Homo-oligomer: A and B are copies of this chain.
Amino acid sequence: MSGLILHEDPRSGNCYKIRLTAAHLKLPLERRSYDIMKGETRTPEFLSNISANGRIPVLQDGDRFLTESNAICFYIANGSDLIPDGHYDQADMLRWMFWEQYNHEPTIATLRFWMRFVGLEALTDAQRMQISPKREMGLAALDLMDKHLAERKWFVADKFSLADIALFAYTHVADEANFDLEAYPEIVRWMERIMVMPKHVELDG
């Protein structure tokens, strides 16, 4: 695997997951930047040549274009210690990654996007009415994570894996959506364990 190109918006936590995975693997990535606020992933060129889904991240590997952040992490981490041994533990890792995309990203990441990048005054009425239910679901997600981490250091199989990377991406910036992370001491300790790892990179890197 070489010559990989990451099509990204550098502010996106979904794109950051891939850069963080690549950093732990010491895998070089060429980065191509798109501004989603300017619709740069919805142009006819992007839809035809990069991804018909009109979203970043997209990983280009030769003439193949892979989408979905967690699938891309799974692809580049093949054979590494970021994927646990054993099929049950691999399924359990994927379980947290599916949970992240269903329960965590649409709540915490969406609220962060609205509050930090779109601006509350620019939201539609339909979006504004989702703030409260999304906040409730985001709090429930953080609560579940905190309880899970009370009994273990990492999400799966007693070791750092893609599940931790996927969940770290938007958890560590949840304060940008006005979630008070100090209320979740186990999450704080888990984030600290990740941030001191020698190969760690920052979101705004």
Interface residues of A in 95-146 (CB under 8 A from B): 95, 97-99, 101-103, 105-106, 125-126, 129-130, 132-133, 144
- List the number of copies, as a whole number: 2
A67 at the interface (CB under 8 A from B): yes
Which residues on the B side are within 8 Å of A130 (C-beta)? 126, 129-130
Report which of B68, B103, B144, B148 forms a contact with A94, defined as CB distance below 8 A. Answer: B68
A72–B88 CA distance with the chains assembled, in angstroms: 9
**Residue among A69, A70, A79, A105 with most chain B CB within 10 A:** A70
User: Is there contact, CB below 8 Å, between A129 and B133?
Assistant: no
Which range contains the number of A residues in contact with the other chain? Answer: 35 or more
Which residues of A pack against B, CB within 8 Å? 52-53, 61, 64, 66-72, 74-75, 78-79, 87-88, 90-92, 94-95, 97-99, 101-103, 105-106, 125-126, 129-130, 132-133, 144, 147-148
